[in-house]
């Protein structure tokens, strides 16, 4: 079996929603200290808390690009709450899998979405449970991806 699925290669070669939104309602930037990759996510949100537009910039590996691209596709048109519930596992499944040593890249995509949602809440003075936004440590990461 090829190391990367067709979908991963497709999203890596033709990433969706690349760019930035100048008047974004929420912006999240996260990085992985180990590999040094950085991901920035921009959300445009309407009065019903629906994500009407989303863009990303990723300075990182191919899997980071593919997972952030897929993450934008999965949250576009969804509510902020639904975006918050997006797990890295869902992103990986939507891409038909990732090699185990690349699963952390999908965690970065989940965290970028969460960081953008948090920024949206902060800017709009919306109360939230800080538990929803705590950093995931290595153990949780393993739990998170089911290994
Ligand atoms: Fe760092 Fe992929 S190797 S995000």
Complete domains list, the chain, with CATH: 6-130 (3.90.1010.10)
Give the residue-averaged pLDDT of 69-88. 97
pLDDT of residue 136: 53
Nearest ligand 1 atom to alpha carbon 105: 4
CA atoms 15, 29, 59, 44: torsion sign: positive
pLDDT band at 143 (very low <50, low <70, confident <90, very high): very low
Distance 98 CA to ligand 1 centre (A): 12
64 CB within 6 A, ligand 1: yes
What is the Rg, in whole angstroms, of the alpha carbon atoms belonging to the chain? 14
3-class SS at 44?
strand
Q: What is the mean pLDDT of residues 114-135?
A: 91
pLDDT digits (tens, 9 = 90+) for 12-60: 999 999 999 999 999 999 999 999 999 999 999 999 999 999 999 999 9
Range from 6-10, 97-101, 102-106, 131-135 carrying the lowest mean pLDDT:
131-135
The C-alpha angle with vertex 100 and arms to 41 and 72, in degrees rounded to 5, equals 20
């Amino acid at each position: 079996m090829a190391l990367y699925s067709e979908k991963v290669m497709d999203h890596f070669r033709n990433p969706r929603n690349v760019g930035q939104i100048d008047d974004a309602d929420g912006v999240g930037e996260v990085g992985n200290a180990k590999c040094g990759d950085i991901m920035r996510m921009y959300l445009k949100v309407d009065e019903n808390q629906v994500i009407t537009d989303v863009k990303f910039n990723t300075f990182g590996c191919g899997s980071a690009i593919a997972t952030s691209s897929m993450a934008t596709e999965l949250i576009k048109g969804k509510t902020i709450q639904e975006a918050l519930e997006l797990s890295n596992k869902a992103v990986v499944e939507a891409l038909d899998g990732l090699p185990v040593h690349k699963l952390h890249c999908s965690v970065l995509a989940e965290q970028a979405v969460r960081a953008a949602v948090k920024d949206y809440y902060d800017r709009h003075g919306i109360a939230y449970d800080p538990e929803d936004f705590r950093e995931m440590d290595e153990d949780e990461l393993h739990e998170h991806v089911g290994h």
